[in-house]
């Protein structure tokens, strides 16, 4: 009973006084009320930015040393982690193993509501065991309540294996905060529809995950200025995006950009160095390797090989 009482006291489970007439207001007002609540999400995320900054630094440091980022969650939170992990592949051309998501209920939990699985703390530990988590990795647990047993179990196991642990929650002073090395609290308050944390809480979680992976990968050299230089050019839209980026960086015409990209075997960074430093693909790769893949340094520095 005590556990149920504590759950009912969570801010994300409280009734929102601003939306008590939700079922009887005109549709235009219903839509407006939901949108007005959404206005508070970015503010809640902004208040958590000092912790988000520390999380980005932790993730980028571990990944630079060969570690992985593993999101863990149940229901909406689990799906948000998986979505962010999957989207890193086309955006940054990351290895699918480098950033990944884990959800209560496994593959089925991505597409169907199997929320009963979230009550099994041992399952969280077992699922993470299968991923051979180690001290190199960062495990990010996501839960609006901050108390989901599956996610708590995974975080405890990750800590026992020496991994860095981060919690993303939407309530203060949670169990996950007591477990994790670092906690990001995005306090979004009561939902427009009571307890429906797929709304404000989920939106805040998605915003934070966007920042974590984007900022960490930018720190690791996955962007030049604000351009996606690691974009995965596997369809026409992404190829055109890659050509536009290459032309933006180097100032060349489309034909010359296509030729360089072909010589670079589709590697946008190599093509940019070829055009920017007027060298062949072999030397461009050598320059990039010497600068650990950092395109800005590769374009700006003169190396011994070129002298």
Phi, psi of 278 (to 5 degrees): 50, 55
DSSP state of 213: H
Q: Specify whether the CB–CB gap between 237 and 114 falls below 8 A.
A: no
Q: Indicate the DSSP class of residue 217.
A: H
Q: Among residues 13, 57, 87, 115, which one is catalytic?
A: 87
> What is the spatial distance between Cα 249 and Cα 299, in angstroms, rounded to a whole number?
10
Our measurement of the distance from residue 242's CA atom to the centroid of its chain's CA atoms, rounded to an integer in Å, reads 22
Q: Is 87 a catalytic residue?
A: yes
* Alpha-carbon span 117 to 122, nearest angstrom: 10
SS3 145: coil
Total residues found in the chain within this entry: 307
Q: Among the options 118, 185, 191, 291, which is catalytic? A: 118
Torsion of CA 261, 267, 273, 279, to 10 degrees: -60
**Chain centroid offset of residue 264 CA:** 29
Sheet holding 69-73, edge to edge: 99-103, 69-73, 138-143, 164-169, 182-185
Q: Which secondary structure element, helix H or strand E, spans residue 184, and what is its range?
A: strand 182-185
Dist CA 236 CA 222 (whole Å): 21
Judge contact between 161 and 201, C-beta under 8 A.
no
Q: What is the Cα–Cα distance from 149 to 115, expressed in whole angstroms?
A: 11
Contact 260, 246 (CB under 8 A): yes
> Is 291 known to be catalytic?
no
Give the active site residues: 87, 118
């Amino acid at each position: 009973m005590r556990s149920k009482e504590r759950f009912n006291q969570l801010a994300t489970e409280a009734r929102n006084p601003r939306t008590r007439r939700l079922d009887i207001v005109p549709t235009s007002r219903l839509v407006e009320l939901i949108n007005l609540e959404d206005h508070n999400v970015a503010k809640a995320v902004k208040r958590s930015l000092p912790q988000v900054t520390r999380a980005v630094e932790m993730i980028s440091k571990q990944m630079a040393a060969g570690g992985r980022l593993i999101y863990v969650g149940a229901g909406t939170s689990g799906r948000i982690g998986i979505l962010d992990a999957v989207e890193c592949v086309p955006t940054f051309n990351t290895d699918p193993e480098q950033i990944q998501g884990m959800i209560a209920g496994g593959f089925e939990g991505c597409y169907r509501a199997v929320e009963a699985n979230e009550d099994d703390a041992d399952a969280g530990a077992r699922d993470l065991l299968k991923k051979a988590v180690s001290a190199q990795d960062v495990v990010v647990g996501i839960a609006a309540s901050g108390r989901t047993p599956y996610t708590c179990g995974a975080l405890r196991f990750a800590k026992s294996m020496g991994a860095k642990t981060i919690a993303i929650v939407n309530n203060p002073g949670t169990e996950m905060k007591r477990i994790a090395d670092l906690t990001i609290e995005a306090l979004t308050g009561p939902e427009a529809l009571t307890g429906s944390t797929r709304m404000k809480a989920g939106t805040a979680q998605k915003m934070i995950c966007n920042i974590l992976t984007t900022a960490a990968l930018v720190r690791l050299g996955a962007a030049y200025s604000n351009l996606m230089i690691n974009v995965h050019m596997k369809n026409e839209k992404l190829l055109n995006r890659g050509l536009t980026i290459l032309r933006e960086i180097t100032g060349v015409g489309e034909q010359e950009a296509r030729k360089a990209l072909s010589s670079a075997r589709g590697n946008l960074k190599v093509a940019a160095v070829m055009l920017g430093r007027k060298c062949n693909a072999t030397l461009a790769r050598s320059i990039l390797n010497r600068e650990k893949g950092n395109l800005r340094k590769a374009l700006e520095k003169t190396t011994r090989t070129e002298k």
